[in-house]
Structure 1
Amino acid sequence: MARILVAEDDPSVRAFVVSALTMKGHEIVAEEDGGLAAETLDAEEGRFDLLLSDIKMPIMDGIGLALHAGARYPDLTIVLMTGFADQRERAHGLDALIYDVIPKPFTLADLVAKVDDALHGRPVEVVSLGQQARGQ
């Protein structure tokens, strides 16, 4: 399975993501902000299959982390997560650098599908719970 670096400042979301991906057999290293994730990425010399990062975090946000990772480890697949529409728009300026953005809130199935697709290079459309409720 894959080796994944998770950067998420919300402890409950971080625990959910780590638990979900560990249950799927992935090796997970989790950090609570982008600065720590960048340090871990550098200490490990980029030896991860995927970087899964929240966009809005203290110290270094997910955009800064993606720029850092992309400059040093161009083969690393990057998926960003956000619950803020304006942050999602910021991420789309990085289309050449990131694989995709997964909107919060997401289900276990959404997360696992997005990670699997990112690891295998197949784009998938994730439908958030709000869109499902509105029939979109």
Structure 2
Amino acid sequence: MARILVAEDDDSVRAFIDSALRIKGHDVVLAEDGGLAAEILGEEEGRFDLLLSDIKMPIMDGIALALDVGARFPKLTILLMTGFADQRERAHGLDALIYDVITKPFTLTDLMAKVEDALAGTPVEVVSLGRRALDG
């Protein structure tokens, strides 16, 4: 399956995401903050299919990480996560760099659907319209 780098400072959220992705067969590498994620990406020369990063983290936040990754590895798909509305708004300025932002708390189903959509390159508008059609 895919090789995914997860940058999340909350131990329990990081463990939840790690378990969920591994159950689906993904190869997962974990980082406790954006600075460490940036180091791992450099050491691995960007060889990941997806970066899944929290926005609000110590050392280097997800916005700074996305800017760094976008400059160094423009083909890497970036999916951000946040539980803070103001942080989500900050991410909208990065539309050209990131795939989308998933809002915490999220369910396992929501997380996996968004990860699979990001990996497939499904446009966010198509995903949103399709889900609304299913809900309505």
Please, which runs of 5 or more residues in structure 1 have no aligned partner? Answer: 126-136
Q: Give % identity.
A: 79
Q: Could you say which structure has the higher helix fraction?
A: 2
Aligned to 2:54: 54
5 Å matches for 1:14-93? 14-93=14-93
TM-score, structure 2 normalization: 0.91
Q: 1-side partners of 2:43 and 2:61: how far apart?
A: 19
The alpha-carbon deviation at position 12 of structure 1 amounts to 0.2
Number of equivalences = 125
User: How big is each residue's C-alpha offset from its partner over 1:2-28, in whole Å with a ceiling of 9 and x where there is no partner?
Assistant: 000000000000000000000000000
Aligned partner of residue 74 in structure 1, secondary structure: coil
Taking only aligned residues, the RMSD between alpha carbons, in angstroms, comes to 0.6
Q: 2-side partners of 1:18 and 1:80: how far apart?
A: 15
Aligned partner of residue 87 in structure 2, secondary structure: helix
User: How big is each residue's C-alpha offset from its partner over 1:67-108, in whole Å with a ceiling of 9 and x where there is no partner?
Assistant: 010000000000000000000000000000000000000000
User: How big is each residue's C-alpha offset from its partner over 1:105-129, in whole Å with a ceiling of 9 and x where there is no partner?
Assistant: 000000000000000011234xxxx
5 Å matches for 1:93-112? 93-112=93-112
- Letter paired with 2:3: R
Moved over 3 A (4+): none
